[in-house]
Structure 1
Amino acid sequence: MSSSWLQQQRHPGYEEESLRRVAEQLPCREPQAGMLLSLMGEPKHFSLPCIFIYGHRASGKSHVVNVLLKELEMPHATVSGAECISATLLFQQVLLSFFGEDAVGALPRSPSLSDFVRVYKQRCSRATAEQTRYIVLEKAELLRDMDANLLSALARLQELVEDNVSVLLLSELVWDTFRPNTGCLEPLLLHFPEYTKAELHQILSRDSHPTYSADFYASYIHILLGVFYAVCRDLRELRHLAALNFTKFCEPVGEGKATESDTHKLWRHVEPHLKKAMQTVYLREVSSLEWEKMQEVEMEASPLRGLSAHSHVELPFYSKFLLIAAYLASYNPARTDKRFFVKHHGKIKKTNFLKKNEKTSNHLLGPKPFPLDRMLAIFYSVVDSRVAPTASIFSQISSLVTLQLLTQVSHADQLDAPKYKCAVSMDFICAISRTVNFDIIKYLYDFL
């Protein structure tokens, strides 16, 4: 950290010790922090009136800004668009942070923008700031639902209140989605890119467990990212997953069945737990402690190990065939239906049936949406016409959607041709197929 880009800036007015503490708290974000600090300038100089900071969720935007403002002791007001649901609450929060409760009391009950500017100018004339004041607006995209002129006024607040104040807008959206039709002072844009895999590894490895060595925890993070990085880049979610599954990873070491260097044995032990955790990414249906207890009970009692919790849902007989039909429609190309499900399809040349350069498995590409008519045609074929189309069949489709085994991808008001996607795993559908004596592998295009 001693050679970080942030420390090399040599910002006048800031102590070296303060910059060193900032650099230690912002791993892999020194360039963005240094750029932001250079835009802010020296403490007593006027800063830019408005800076728009954008980037994906959990890319370090709020963390970098808060660390800079707190460690360098800059006067600031932090306001969340999710908490301040009206302009009145926003005005009150800013005045309270800068001037205290007396300034809030000077506002009328339903203050307008001009009331806020008037009170702000009165208060700052009494207490001139020795350095720039900063207003940090998190989740700034919610400002678009407030007064039409509010965003334009915040962008040029420095001019309106005649004070050394700078507004920092933080958002996951780009500026083009903000720009008002009536015109607005263009802020300076600062982008926070997503963390790379190497950066995530460096950051997560800092959370090493005190009982185990840092290298052991770093190897665990390497395994974790190998599983989850393709589907999740959110630092907070990955940190949660790392804490949730670490006890399972080090369990053989604690029982004396393996050492910290037995990476392969530890991987084999934790692999089924990581696969199951893949189905809970971004979900918080239960707490982490409850999820871990459920996992232990399932591993001991269930004969179908490694399956999702949906495996234990008891489905009606025809609902199982509907789910099988949905899985086949999701993972088989539509052009293969004639070969699989039409009894007297005639001769089909294999060269026409298989694409010459088709190398990617449909299971790797994920489920494809399909129309309801196609699923029902496959359903009536696999149940061998033992059921007539009734309202009960359609109600069971709705039940499968409610259970989140099927996902409706078309709009709810599209009644003529609704489209669905199957949302269950390969292991789950194989378990369902065994309960009705249906060999689903024979009907899957990827396994020909």
Structure 2
Amino acid sequence: MDKEKTSQTPRRMTRSLASSPTSTSNNVIAAKVNSLEPSTINDLLVGGDPISLDDIISNFPGRRNQILEIVRLLGPLNSPMLPLFVYGGPCTGKTSVILQLFRHLNRPLVYSSCRTCYNQGILFESILNQLFLHRKNAANGYANAKRCDRPSDFVNFLREALTNVINNLKEKSEKLVSNKMRQEKIGNMIYLVFDNFHLVREWDKSSTILPLLFNLYDMLKMHEVGLIFISSTSPDTFYSNMGYVEPIPVYFPDYTEGDIRQILLRNQVNQKLYSSFLDVVLKSFYGITKQVGDLSAALKPLYEKYCEPLSDKGKGVAPDQQMRRRLLAHINPHIGPSLNEIFKVSSLSSTEVEARKEEKRKGNPRRLAKSEELGSLDFHMSTSAKYLLISAFLASRNPATLDASLFDSKGGSDNRKRKRKPSEKAMERKETLEEELLMKGPGTFPLERLLAIFQCLVSVAEDEEEPNNDGFGVEGGSAGLMSDVLLQLSSLCNANFIFKGRSCPIEGSTRYRSTISEDLALKVARSLKFPLSKYLYS
């Protein structure tokens, strides 16, 4: 009992906690002590002071729905759970949210990153070392708790280690109840977290390790064990021919510009000055990357340049309108070179910039229309590829059950019909469906559905073009558009506009998913003068 009291500092620390100045000196001392002391169950807890759920929500802007959904799926203390599949783009807060939630819930977990554990042997040994409470040091010759290279050995050792951990958790809970201690309970559940799970597909034995990890839930049959997979790719990229309990997906979309603004403003000494700086530069940089890490690294030297005209680097300065104009004039010449230097984006030369300004002064309507069109879409794409890209975007965003009503013979719903006022239950069902679609992210679709939507959009475009073109349809009619549709689909997949997944074990056909954002879809639709909002479910 005394040993547990003296070793209350957990060894797992989040990145934010590890970087705090107050804990640096303590960590050095604790590292020396912990290397000699035996590990306890407390080492499986996330380190740091207790944190409330409201604090987590405020620390992660734009992640309220995902946080509440994960808390709901984890359930109350000692609640069995189905496997979770948390996915989204890089730097969207997936890992940080999971660790902070376990810090809030005070529940033990075994965290393994498939980036540092770059093959199955290292992954197996990392998990078993944590579960057996084994710490490698000079006393044991830096050996692992168990050596296993075969998946069958890993499953046997894993079941043994989990049984020991669960029994220890139950004994600790019983002691707390019998002694009537006020210490917060940690329950009987143990969670296995696999971070950077998408990297497993690049391993040599990925065809063996992927079904093994997905089938752990069925093989172990231990209700006290929870599985959480964190990936940068969607679940449909992991289809296999072996049946297993499909994990529940939780989607983390990219941060919006407002969310990134809140994140960057945190920990700033002068938030008013930094806010005026973001008003100038954030929109340009956000159009190139939405990753918080890249933006923070790119804006740091630029902000130092922004504060050069101010004394003491702008500490305590409240910028007025005149100061903002002066700072804008100072920073404006450095924005373009900074974009080119960090993100390798080609910019217009000074002569082209002057030519554009001269055209705007003259007000030539044809040239202005052409420049606006080029500004709306930054790359060339054929008409058939544009319609195919829009079709894929609609297939990913719209439920398949609504295709018949959205893509009817008249090309979408008839706006001239008098619409009945929806009931409250219908509105609630619609809001629930929208939340479910947001949590799942862009859906997958078969090739047949994509071609059906594509054919409908092309026929609508021909009907609208016919009165203006005297009988000549878009690119020579549907035959011209349909002739190279498979070739265009292959090109869009190679350009990562559309993701091609594996064959679905149930349907037996390849499934696709659109990867473009709504902003890019609107740009493509605007270049075709296509009413995208008319066909988008909202």
The TM-score, its normalising length taken from structure 1, stands at: 0.57
Question: Residues 45 and 362 of structure 1: is their aligned pair in 2 closer, same or farther, counting only changes over 3 Å?
Answer: closer
1:167 aligned to which of 227, 249, 254: 227
The amino acid that maps onto 2:372 is T
Greater relative contact order (CA < 8 Å, ≥ 6 in sequence): 2
Per the TM alignment, residue 152 of structure 1 is displaced from its structure 2 partner at its CA by 2.4
What is the identity, as a one-letter code, of the residue corresponding to 1:148?
A: S
Out of 57, 62, 65, the residue aligned to residue 98 of structure 2 is 65
Q: Which protein is richer in helix relative to its size?
A: 2
Partner of 2:52: helix, strand, or coil? Answer: helix
Cα shift at 1:363: 7.5
Aligned equivalent of 1:123: 161
Is 2:52 the counterpart of 1:40? no
Residues 321-332 of structure 1: pairs in structure 2 closer than 5 A: none
Counterparts in 2 of 1:82 and 1:264: CA distance versus 1, 3 Å: same
Q: Deviations for 1:265-312, whole angstroms, at most 9, x for unmatched residues?
A: 1111111222111013357xxxxxxxxxxxxxxxxxxxxxxx99x99x
Match in the other structure for 1:219 = 276
Task: Name the counterpart of 2:244.
Answer: 184
Please state if 1:53 is matched with 2:86.
yes
1:202 corresponds, among 240, 252, 262, to: 262
TM-fit CA distance, 1:192 = 0.5
Measure, in 2, the Cα distance between the counterparts of 1:270 and 1:58. 27
SS at match of 1:136: strand
The one-letter code matched in structure 2 to 1:235 is V
Percent identity for Structure 1 against Structure 2 = 24
Match of 1:85 among 86, 103, 118: 118
- 1:32, CA displacement in angstroms? 0.8
User: Could you tell me how far apart the structure 2 residues matched to 1:78 and 1:115 are?
Assistant: 20
Query: SS at 2:101's partner residue?
Result: helix
The CA deviation at 1:71 is 3.6
Deviation at 1:139, TM superposition (A): 1.6
User: Where in structure 2 are the equivalents of 1:400-411 lying within 5 Å?
Assistant: none
C-alpha separation in 1, matches of 2:235 and 2:243: 13
Is the counterpart of residue 231 in structure 1 residue 264 in structure 2?
no
Task: Give the CA deviation at 1:171.
Answer: 1.5
The residue type equivalent to 1:249 in the other structure is Y
Separation in structure 1 between the aligned mates of residue 289 and residue 262 of structure 2, nearest angstrom? 16
Q: Distance in 2 between matches of 1:256 and 1:34?
A: 40
Structure 2 counterpart of 1:266, one-letter code: L
TM-score under structure 2 length normalisation: 0.48
Contact map agreement 2:129 2:144 (CA 8 A) in 1: no
Q: Where in structure 2 are the equivalents of 1:12-51 lying within 5 Å?
A: 18-48=52-82, 50-51=83-84
Query: Which whole-Å CA distance do the structure 1 matches of 2:57 and 2:152 have between them?
Result: 40
Partner SS for 2:267: coil
Q: 2:319 aligns with which of 260, 271, 280?
A: 260
* One-letter code aligned to 1:116: F
Cα distance in 2 between the residues matched to 1:135 and 1:172: 18
The answer (yes or no) to whether the contact 2:128–2:145 under 8 Å persists in 1 is no
**How many angstroms does 1:249 deviate by?**
0.9
Q: 1:316 aligns to what?
A: none
Structure 1 residue aligned with 2:151 = 113
1:96 aligns with 2:129: yes
Q: Among residues 207, 213, 224, which one is paired with 1:154 in the alignment? A: 213
In the alignment of these two chains, the number of paired residues is 287
Q: Which runs of 5+ in 1 are unaligned?
A: 1-14, 284-306, 312-326, 328-353, 370-410, 412-448
- 1:303-322 alignment, distance < 5 Å: none
In structure 1, what is the Cα distance between the partners aligned to 2:215 and 2:241? 16
Q: Which residue of 2 aligns with 1:360?
A: 372
Query: Is the 1:152–1:185 contact (alpha carbons within 8 Å) kept by the matching residues of 2?
Result: no
Distance 1:358 1:155 in 2: 52
2:342 counterpart (255, 275, 281): 281
Pairwise CA RMSD of aligned residues?
3.5
Q: Residues 218 and 356 (structure 1 numbering): CA distance in 2 closer, same or farther, change over 3 Å? A: closer
Q: C-alpha offsets along residues 312-371 of structure 1, whole Å, 9 cap, x if unaligned? A: xxxxxxxxxxxxxxx9xxxxxxxxxxxxxxxxxxxxxxxxxx8997453658755769xx
**Matching residue's letter, 1:159:** D
Residue 175 of structure 1: how far off its partner (Å)? 1.3
Q: CA deviation at 1:190?
A: 0.7
How far did 1:106 drift?
A: 5.5
**Structure 2: tracts of 5 or more residues without a match:** 1-48, 137-142, 170-186, 353-365, 382-493, 495-538
Deviations 1:375-433 (A, max 9, x none): xxxxxxxxxxxxxxxxxxxxxxxxxxxxxxxxxxxx9xxxxxxxxxxxxxxxxxxxxxx
